Amino acid sequence: MTTAWSAPAPPARQPVLVINPRSGSGKAERFHLVEQCRARGIEPVVLEPVVDLLELVENSVADGADVVGMAGGDGSQGMVAGVAARHGIAMVVVPSGTRNHFAMDLGLDRRHVDAALDAFGDARQGRIDLGEVNGRVFVNNASLGLYAQIVRSPGYREAKVETALGTLSRLLGPGSRPFELRFTGPAGERYTTAHVLQISNNPYGTPPGGIASRPRLDGGLLGVLALELADPAAVEAFRAAVAAGPPERPPGVRTWAVTEFEVDADGPVDLGIDGEAVQMTPPLRFTIRPGALVVRVPRHAPGLSPAARQLQRRSGLGGLLARGRYRRLLTWATTRRRGSAIGPAGPE
């Protein structure tokens, strides 16, 4: 987020952490999350393979939990976020999944999984938005087209973290055809196909470095990214642009922001929702729920996503440049008063 997590949060009275021991190739066990929870007075609830996650969280809330946390992947985080928002209680995110993109955009340190438990104590909190499609909440994004196929592939869970554009560049081979997805563009134009369509809980940043993260999660907008490549030449142009480095505007890619969005198709649509394979019946209606979820973060957490830090650096550089120009103007004005002007055109 671009804004600080400024609201103080007292220690939770009845904290609960749901732990998926299988996420992230067993990160929960490697970081001894169950033992650490017990030492801190947090009730650990281990998610067994046959247990329904939503039912487990609902039962914890019914038993009096005032703060609920999830140690697992982004798909699990999204499901718990929906329950926490519905009951108006705060959530803690423990990044023990594979990618942990949600934790990254909250400004958490993904390397030190156990450090996130500090958010149950004396912490900071803030409100963030949630995305929703046909009643299902998502914290990151819902992807259609080629990305949805990737999520459904058997090797997806073991895949290394990689940039979205790099993945697409490798998968868009000869004969690649777009998916039949009908939606409206930013100027009211109608689309009937797309290779990729991604709807995110707040827009992602811009390259270089920002396209994999979001500058903020409280902007009240859905981000939409559509990729449509009309012919083999367009595919090759896209791949060449990506190979040369993260382009500011990749060929065939359009991005815009909306508060609601609709996608239609002739049959069931495959989606990847926060990295989980899902199939839904169209039309798909996407909405944003501004400030729906209270999230707690440790006081020591940076609290800024990579994209937010990038914006901060840019604004800091802009401030330095502006101050430098102000000093040059002041020097020029002073020397003019002394009768020794720098030149007829003034300072550069």
Report the percentage of the chain scoring pLDDT > 70. 81
Contact of 67 with 117, CB cutoff 8 Å = no
What is the CB-side half-sphere exposure of residue 155 using CA atoms within 13 A?
Answer: 3
The more confident residue out of 23 and 242 is 23
98-143, pLDDT tens digit by residue?
A: 889 999 999 999 999 999 999 999 999 999 999 999 999 999 999 9
Give the DSSP H or E segment for 141.
Answer: strand 141-145
Range of lowest pLDDT (60-74, 175-189, 242-256):
242-256
Question: What value does the mean pLDDT take over residues 238-267?
Answer: 86
326 falls in which pLDDT band (50, 70, 90)? very low
The more confident residue out of 39 and 234 is 39
242 falls in which pLDDT band (50, 70, 90)? confident
- On average, the pLDDT of the chain sits at 85
Residues forming beta bridges with residue 193, ordered by sequence position: 180
Range of lowest pLDDT (1-5, 16-20, 69-73, 276-280):
1-5
Alpha helices by DSSP H, listed for 180-231, are: none
Name the nearest CA neighbour of 167 among 182, 179, 153: 153
Q: Could you give the 3-state DSSP secondary structure of residue 245?
A: coil
Contact of 75 with 271, CB cutoff 8 Å = no
134-177, pLDDT tens digit by residue?
A: 999 999 999 999 888 877 766 555 544 345 556 666 777 766 78
Range of lowest pLDDT (80-84, 94-98, 298-302, 319-323):
319-323
Tokens of 51: 């247990």
pLDDT exceeds cutoff 70 at 40: yes
The verdict on whether omega for the bond into residue 208 sits within 30 degrees of 0, i.e. cis, is yes
Question: What value does the mean pLDDT take over residues 172-191?
Answer: 89
pLDDT exceeds cutoff 60 at 341: no
Per-residue model confidence (pLDDT) at position 5:
75
Question: What value does the mean pLDDT take over residues 226-245?
Answer: 83
Domains annotated on the chain, with CATH: 7-128+292-308 (3.40.50.10330), 138-289 (2.60.200.40)
What is the CB-side half-sphere exposure of residue 245 using CA atoms within 13 A?
Answer: 4
274-319, pLDDT tens digit by residue?
A: 999 999 999 999 999 999 999 999 999 988 998 888 888 877 645 4
Report the percentage of the chain scoring pLDDT > 90. 64
Check: pTM over 0.75? Answer yes or no: yes
Tell me the CA distances in angstroms from 267 to 7, 80, 137, 273, 284, one per residue in order: 46, 29, 22, 18, 11
The dihedral through the CA atoms of 106, 107, 110, 116 has a sign that is negative
Per-residue model confidence (pLDDT) at position 63:
97
pLDDT exceeds cutoff 60 at 346: no
Tell me the CA distances in angstroms from 200 to 36, 130, 212, 234, 253, one per residue in order: 33, 9, 11, 25, 15
Per-residue model confidence (pLDDT) at position 322:
46
Question: What value does the mean pLDDT take over residues 51-69?
Answer: 97
Length of the chain: 348
Tokens of 267: 């049959």
The dihedral through the CA atoms of 80, 86, 91, 93 has a sign that is positive
Per-residue model confidence (pLDDT) at position 136:
97
The more confident residue out of 34 and 169 is 34
Per-residue model confidence (pLDDT) at position 328:
57
